[in-house]
Amino acid sequence: MMKPTARETAQGVGVEDGVNDDGELQDVNIETTSANENDVAVAVQQQHISRRWTGWIVLFVASLVSIIALTLGRPKDTSAQKWAKWIVSLSIVFSFGAIICYHFARAVFLSGPPELALSGIALILWCIGLPIIMNPSNSIAVGYTQIVNGNMYIASWVCFFSIFFVVGDLLSEVYGFNIVATVRPRLQDRNGKWYTLVAT
């Protein structure tokens, strides 16, 4: 009776890499490695989705606080206040829409063009709205000497940073772009220049 070869033995025990040039069994299983890599990729994606879900929730709640702070105890609205209300109202609609999509349209919305477009528009809105709200001449959140609406002041900053976080996390997941790593050296360099200026 003939003794089975190393290759036949490898096939019998289910090792898919076969044998090497010396006829010895190789212990690396390609399918197991691929499965592990897929599990890691899925876990990383779920972390991104969970973080963005939290970001959308925070944006929605902070936007509600902002619209309440803008509405209550206000006399006749100025042009700047009307702009602020429009921006906050759209922020509520966008964040609520994202929350609904996270529940009922995950396959279409998550990590895709719809979420990227919605978060991008929301970020643009807050890049426009935050300077209006923080302009002391408008007296919406701050005046020239003091904070005139503390709830609006805090909530608007929370809105801006939450949507900034959502966009940054989405870009990191989809394109591998790390906003923090890109911005931090510039901020540190700018701070260094300011420290030098103050010291001199």
pLDDT band at 23 (very low <50, low <70, confident <90, very high): low
Model-level pTM?
0.69
Residue 107: is it exposed, middle or buried by C-beta count within 10 angstroms (0-12/13-18/19+)?
exposed
Lookup result for tokens 């890109």: 182
What distance in Å separates the CA atoms of residue 69 and residue 43, rounded to the nearest whole number? 39
Q: How many CB atoms lie within 10 A of CB 84?
A: 25
Which contacts qualify for 102-110: CB closer than 8 Å, 24 or more apart? Answer: 102/53, 102/56, 110/49
The 10s digit of each residue's pLDDT in 142-154 is 999 999 999 999 9
What distance in Å separates the CA atoms of residue 66 and residue 95, rounded to the nearest whole number? 13
pLDDT band at 10 (very low <50, low <70, confident <90, very high): very low
Structure confidence at residue 154 (pLDDT): 96
The 10s digit of each residue's pLDDT in 72-126 is 866 677 899 999 999 999 999 999 999 999 989 888 898 889 999 999 999 999 9
User: Is residue 198 scored above 50 in pLDDT?
Assistant: no
